[in-house]
């Protein structure tokens, strides 16, 4: 086995575990999967490789959270996510992946700055209203289609609702389970999911299931306030990683 092979499988195992953990209740951890694998393969290929792992982990997550979710959020965000996926598919040939990552990073960073500022003032809980839900849900579907990075837009809508820890985790799991399943046909049509990638997924699947179990156990035992603080910290880290990865290439695009 070559050094390149060892590097690939090491990163693939970490990415698979993070995907599983995201479905167990640690949603933003999964965003790291594509950036990690992008170190050793094209980002589009990395997204295609991890999608079946997401879907497999979703099955476990759906069973875990079958009784803990918010129906109104599901009713708003899943149809909006479908619109975002459709936009992502029809614009796949012209969409700059780096520009999307840059946008997602900015959204995540903006949320974190706003969250910190709220610690010094009383902010009323925002309801799950339809106009905001359609906007952020569509954006989450689109960014999820491009690079499995739907978490930051999704959290811009859901975190201000102050859902309980387990309802938040369950709603997140179910929304993205639906989004991931809807992404599969266009991924196949674009050649991002193929027989070769599925063979690799078979090897990585057990690691993802271990990650899902681990994520659920952590979600159960971590105090609620600490849980949401950890989500915000993870969002901040992911946003910085996305900005660091995409900014140099975005600047090149802007300068022609």
Tokens 């610690």 belong to residue: 119
CA dist 83 and 11 (Å) reads 32
Percentage of the chain lying above the pLDDT 70 cut: 94
Is residue 241 a contact partner of residue 50, using CB atoms and an 8 Å limit? no
Q: What is the pLDDT of residues 23-55, one digit of tens each?
A: 787 766 776 777 777 777 777 788 888 899 889
Alpha-carbon distance values, 212 to 77, 93, 126, 255 (Å): 23, 33, 30, 43
Give the model's confidence band at 110: pLDDT under 50 very low, under 70 low, under 90 confident, else very high: confident
Which pLDDT belongs to residue 112? 79
For residues 168-189, average pLDDT: 94
Bigger pLDDT: 51 vs 152: 51
Which pLDDT belongs to residue 121? 63
Mean pLDDT of the chain: 84
Q: Which of 151, 163, 156, 168 minimizes the C-alpha distance to 112?
A: 156
Give the model's confidence band at 86: pLDDT under 50 very low, under 70 low, under 90 confident, else very high: very high
For residues 66-85, average pLDDT: 95
Q: Is residue 120's pLDDT more than 70?
A: no
Query: For the chain, how many helices (H) and strands (E)?
Result: 10, 0
Q: Is residue 253's pLDDT more than 80?
A: no
Give the model's confidence band at 256: pLDDT under 50 very low, under 70 low, under 90 confident, else very high: low
Residues 6+ apart with CB under 8 A from 255: none
For residues 102-118, average pLDDT: 76
CA dist 145 and 153 (Å) reads 13
Which pLDDT belongs to residue 189? 92
For residues 195-210, average pLDDT: 88
DSSP one-letter code for 126:
P
Is residue 222 a contact partner of residue 230, using CB atoms and an 8 Å limit? yes
The whole domain housing 78 covers 3-254
Q: Is residue 57's pLDDT more than 70?
A: yes
Give the model's confidence band at 73: pLDDT under 50 very low, under 70 low, under 90 confident, else very high: very high
For residue 121, give both structure tokens: 């003032």
pTM: predicted TM-score of the whole model, two decimal places: 0.82
Which pLDDT belongs to residue 233? 80
Give the model's confidence band at 117: pLDDT under 50 very low, under 70 low, under 90 confident, else very high: confident
Tokens 């899943």 belong to residue: 78
Which pLDDT belongs to residue 122? 64
Domain count, the chain: 1
Which range (138-142, 160-164, 212-216) has the least confidence? 212-216
């Amino acid at each position: 086995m070559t050094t390149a092979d060892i590097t690939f499988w090491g990163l693939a195992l970490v990415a698979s575990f993070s995907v599983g953990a995201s479905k167990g209740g640690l949603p933003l951890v999964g965003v790291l999967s594509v950036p990690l694998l992008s170190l050793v393969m094209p980002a589009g290929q990395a997204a295609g490789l991890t999608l079946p792992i997401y879907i497999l982990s979703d099955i476990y997550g759906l069973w875990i959270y079958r009784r803990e979710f918010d129906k109104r959020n599901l009713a708003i965000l899943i149809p909006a996510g479908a619109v975002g996926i459709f936009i992502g598919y029809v614009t796949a040939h012209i969409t700059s992946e780096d520009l999307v990552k840059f946008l997602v990073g900015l959204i995540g960073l903006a949320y974190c700055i706003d969250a910190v500022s709220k610690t010094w003032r009383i902010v009323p809980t925002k309801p799950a209203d339809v106009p905001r839900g359609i906007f952020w849900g569509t954006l989450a579907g689109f960014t999820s289609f491009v690079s499995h990075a739907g978490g930051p837009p999704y959290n811009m809508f859901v975190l201000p609702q102050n859902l309980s820890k387990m309802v938040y985790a369950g709603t997140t799991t179910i929304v993205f389970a639906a989004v991931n399943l809807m992404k599969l046909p266009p991924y196949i049509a674009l050649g991002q999911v193929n027989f070769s990638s599925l063979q690799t997924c078979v090897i990585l699947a057990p690691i993802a299931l271990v990650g899902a179990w681990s994520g659920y156990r952590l979600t159960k035992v971590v105090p609620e306030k600490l849980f949401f603080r950890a989500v915000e910290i993870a969002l901040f880290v992911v946003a910085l990683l996305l900005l660091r990865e995409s900014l140099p290439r975005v600047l090149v695009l802007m300068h022609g």
